[in-house]
Structures are given as structure tokens and as C-alpha cells.
């Protein structure tokens, strides 16, 4: 067993660290947070440097690296600023399904746009009436074959960056009669904007540098050539994809927790109260020790999950452990960072209240912690009667 990153991985980590220090400055992060702006200029540069599509093949303009390198990139972006970091590193959300299951023509048409920074994308699974459970009743969003086209109707919600994307993928019901209903799911690529594709943005607690959208499909006509893989296999493709993006989200949570810890340590070394640096008080130093323990344990399990993906040894149980544990740790560490910084911690200028608000979303997206605990317990217990 080797716990060291390779020289190449350390170089990637260092390059991203330098990039975010230069580009995601404190003033810039405050500006986009206050005005809820997508960090377009930094996203474009990050694409050109190969950070966003680091885990896509070079033939499409990607970096040719794996999941662990992607994790390192996400961690560094989110350590600097989670809203902007997540906006940039999820700007290709859904495209991995095109890579995994798309035709050669689909890959050649769509992936270079995303890799080169000419298109942001979205992945639409959640519906207003079903998020955690997409399996037990047919999806509202349905696609009906008409000649060589599909006509899509229905609605999705909370979809990251759908209102600013050039294309995305959507999980639809193509066979409404089959039992169980998930055996009638298909994934279709949507080009946008398009007549019949409408979006509106939610206002939300954190992650304010990208829009979270309600999407409605009203007789949206899409070519049959946009079907990914086989009809009615979409649920399986989605599950394969979700294992990977759960690890991405967990990596973002590690970055948030590390960012909050960095700021709390700095503060504890410099702030004086009752004639001493506050780090000398055991109540503060033990908080820091517990925060560091959570950061380190999260990171270890996230790297292990990423290693499994890169070595064709995906373990969904480990992906679930990484996702729920790192998400919870990020919320707890950011919460403690606010406590350590007292009133200063509550103020927007001091970063940690933003980390706290942003951290909460990592517990919700790609499966809540309850759903991941169900999955972990299911792997331990098997099917009980």
C-alpha cells in the first residue's frame, strides 16, 4: 500500500493551487457570491488549462487522467471557494455518460465543446415529485417516439446550471408500462436553448455561483440520434455515473472542510482574548484537533473510492461511505470554524459562513446521507426478510 501521491499528481495539485490562488481571489469570490454570478472567465481559463476535463480522454480535448486526479482538482478549487469551485468543476456534469455510453458520433460532437470551454452542460435526473427514489413509479418526464424523433414532456428540478448550458442529458421514461418502472428509463441528449425547453432559477441557501433550475419540457422535439446507448437502459447508465459523481461531490466536501480548517487555524494563531492567543485555550485547540481528524479521515476514504474507480474496482459501498461521511464532516468542520472565529465567523467577508452554507449542499446532492446509509447497510446486511 502506498499513501503517497505520484510526482505527476503532486504537480497537478500544485498547479491547481497556484491557479486558484491567482484567479479565485477573495475580492472575486465575494463579488460573485454577492451577485450570484457564474465565474465565466475563470471557468474558461480552467478549461484551457485542462483542469475541468482532466478525466476525459485526450482525443476529445481532455487531460487523459483518472478519477483521483479529478478529485485533487475539485478539492483544491473548493478549498479556495466552494461555490465558484463547484460551478467550475461541475460545468461538465452529465458528460461522463456520453463518454461512457455514447456513440462515436455523439462523443465527437459534444465532448470537445465541453473540454475546450465552449459549452457548459447539465444532467437532469431529479423531478419535483421524486428525487431519492426514481425507481418505484414511472418518471413524469417522458419521451415518446415519433418517426425518428422523440417528443419530450415533463419536468425536472434543482438541475445545476441548466439555464446556462449548451447541452445536457435527461433521464426520461420511454416505456411507461414496464414493471419495475426503472426498466423503462432512457437517457437522451438535449441541445439548448430549444423550443419546448424552459428553465427558471431557484433562490438558494448557498452554492450561489451557479444556477439551480426548474426545467420544463413541453413537446420538445429531439432527434432519435440523441438517445444514449440502448433504449430502456438509462437507469443502469445513471447508476454507473452516479457512483463516480458521488466521489466528486465528496472531494468538494473535503476541500470545503480543509478550507474551513485552514482559516480556523490561522485565526486561532492570531486572535487574542483575555491576554492570550485563543489557540492556547484547550476548548479551541481540541476543536481544531477534531476538525483535522475529520478532514483527514474524509480525504482517505475519498481517495480510496477514487482509486477503486481508476482500477476498475468500484465499490459502491465505499463511494457511499465517502459521500455521506465527507459531506457531514464538511458541515461539522465549517460549523466549528464559525464558532472558533466568533462573530467574525458569521460575517460574509471571513469565508467560513459561506463554507458552511455551501457544505450543506454536499449532504443533499447525489443522494442524501439517509440514502447512502441505506446503501451501506444494504451492502452489510444483504436482503433481510
Ligand X SMILES: Cc1cc2nc3c(=O)[nH]c(=O)nc-3n(C[C@H](O)[C@H](O)[C@H](O)COP(=O)(O)OP(=O)(O)OC[C@H]3O[C@@H](n4cnc5c(N)ncnc54)[C@H](O)[C@@H]3O)c2cc1C
Residue 22: phi and psi, rounded to 5, are: -80, -45
Pick the closer one to ligand X by CB: 86 or 298.
86
E strand intervals along 167-251: 167-173, 185-191, 197-201, 212-223, 227-228
What is the maximum span of the chain, computed from C-alpha positions, in angstroms? Answer: 79
Q: Which residues contact 46 (CB under 8 A, 6 or more apart)?
A: 19, 23, 52, 77, 88, 117
Pick the closer one to ligand X by CB: 198 or 279.
198
Pick the closer one to ligand X by CB: 278 or 365.
365
The residue at minimum Cβ distance from ligand X is 131
Residue 108: phi and psi, rounded to 5, are: -70, -30
106 near ligand X, rule: CB under 6 A: no
Exactly one of 76, 336, 353, 366 is catalytic; name it: 366
126 near ligand X, rule: CB under 6 A: yes
Other CB atoms within 10 A of residue 230 CB? 11
Q: Which residues contact 141 (CB under 8 A, 6 or more apart)?
A: 124, 127, 152, 153, 154, 155, 156, 170, 171, 172, 173, 217
Question: Active site includes 366?
Answer: yes
**Spatial contact of 253 and 329, defined as CB atoms under 8 Å apart:** yes
Name which position in 113, 159, 250, 322 contacts ligand X (CB under 6 A): 159
Pick the closer one to ligand X by CB: 51 or 158.
158
Name which position in 227, 365, 375, 376 contacts ligand X (CB under 6 A): 365
131 near ligand X, rule: CB under 6 A: yes
Q: Give the range of 9-17, 24-32, 305-313, 360-368 binding ligand X by CB under 6 A.
A: 360-368
Pick the closer one to ligand X by CB: 172 or 207.
207
| 297: three-class secondary structure by DSSP | helix
Residue 227: phi and psi, rounded to 5, are: -65, 135
Task: Give residues 176-235 in contact with ligand X (rule: CB under 6 A).
Answer: 207, 212
Distance CA 260, CA 330 (A): 8
Distance CA 86, CA 194 (A): 26
Shortest spacing between CB 147 and ligand X, in angstroms: 29
End-to-end CA distance of the chain: give it in Å, rounded.
39
The C-alpha cell 441541445 sits at: 191
Shortest spacing between CB 59 and ligand X, in angstroms: 27
Name which position in 14, 132, 137, 293 contacts ligand X (CB under 6 A): 132
374 near ligand X, rule: CB under 6 A: yes
Pick the closer one to ligand X by CB: 168 or 259.
168
Shortest spacing between CB 96 and ligand X, in angstroms: 13
123 near ligand X, rule: CB under 6 A: yes
Shortest spacing between CB 157 and ligand X, in angstroms: 7
155 near ligand X, rule: CB under 6 A: no
> In this structure, what C-alpha cell is assigned to residue 5?
501521491
Specify the DSSP class assigned to residue 127.
B
368 near ligand X, rule: CB under 6 A: yes
Task: Give residues 261-280 in contact with ligand X (rule: CB under 6 A).
Answer: none
What amino acid positions are annotated as catalytic residues? 366
Judged by the rule CB under 6 A, the positions of this chain that interact with ligand X are: 93, 123-126, 131-133, 158-160, 207, 212, 361, 364-368, 370-371, 374
Amino acid at each position: 500500500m502506498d499513501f503517497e501521491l505520484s510526482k505527476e499528481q503532486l504537480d497537478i495539485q500544485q498547479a491547481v493551487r497556484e491557479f486558484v490562488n491567482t484567479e479565485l481571489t477573495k475580492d472575486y469570490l465575494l463579488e460573485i457570491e454577492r451577485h450570484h454570478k457564474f465565474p465565466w472567465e475563470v471557468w474558461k481559463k480552467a478549461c484551457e488549462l485542462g483542469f475541468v476535463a482532466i478525466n476525459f480522454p485526450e482525443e476529445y480535448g481532455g487531460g487523459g487522467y483518472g478519477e483521483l486526479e479529478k478529485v485533487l482538482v475539485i478539492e483544491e478549487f473548493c478549498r479556495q471557494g466552494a461555490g465558484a469551485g463547484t460551478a467550475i468543476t461541475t460545468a461538465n456534469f452529465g458528460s461522463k455518460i456520453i463518454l461512457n455510453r455514447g456513440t462515436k458520433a455523439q462523443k465527437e460532437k459534444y465532448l470537445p465543446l465541453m473540454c475546450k470551454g465552449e459549452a457548459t452542460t447539465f444532467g437532469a435526473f431529479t423531478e419535483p415529485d421524486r428525487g431519492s427514489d426514481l425507481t418505484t413509479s414511472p418518471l413524469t418526464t417522458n419521451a415518446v417516439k415519433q418517426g425518428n424523433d422523440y417528443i419530450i414532456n415533463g419536468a425536472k428540478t434543482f438541475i445545476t446550471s441548466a439555464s446556462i448550458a449548451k447541452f445536457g442529458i435527461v433521464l426520461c421514461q420511454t416505456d411507461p408500462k414496464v414493471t419495475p418502472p426503472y426498466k423503462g428509463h432512457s437517457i437522451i441528449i438535449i441541445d439548448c436553448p430549444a423550443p419546448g425547453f424552459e428553465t427558471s432559477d431557484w433562490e438558494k441557501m448557498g452554492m450561489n455561483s451557479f444556477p439551480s433550475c426548474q426545467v420544463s419540457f413541453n413537446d420538445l422535439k429531439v432527434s432519435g440520434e440523441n438517445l444514449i446507448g440502448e433504449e430502456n437502459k438509462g437507469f443502469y447508465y445513471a447508476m454507473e455515473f452516479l457512483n463516480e459523481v458521488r466521489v466528486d461531490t465528496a472531494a468538494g466536501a473535503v476541500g470545503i472542510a480543509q478550507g474551513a480548517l485552514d482559516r480556523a487555524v490561522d485565526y486561532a494563531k492570531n486572535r487574542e482574548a483575555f491576554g492570550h492567543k485563543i489557540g492556547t485555550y484547550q476548548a479551541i485547540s481540541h476543536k481544531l484537533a477534531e476538525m483535522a481528524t475529520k478532514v483527514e479521515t474524509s480525504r482517505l476514504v475519498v481517495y480510496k473510492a477514487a482509486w477503486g474507480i481508476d482500477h476498475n474496482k468500484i465499490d459502491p459501498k465505499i463511494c457511499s461511505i465517502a459521500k455521506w461521511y465527507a459531506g457531514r464532516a464538511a458541515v461539522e468542520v465549517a460549523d466549528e470554524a464559525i464558532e472558533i472565529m466568533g462573530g467574525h465567523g458569521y460575517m460574509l467577508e471571513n469565508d467560513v459562513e459561506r463554507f458552511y452554507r455551501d457544505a450543506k449542499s454536499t449532504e443533499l446532492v447525489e443522494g442524501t446521507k439517509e440514502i447512502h446509509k441505506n446503501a451501506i447497510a444494504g451492502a452489510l446486511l444483504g436482503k433481510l426478510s
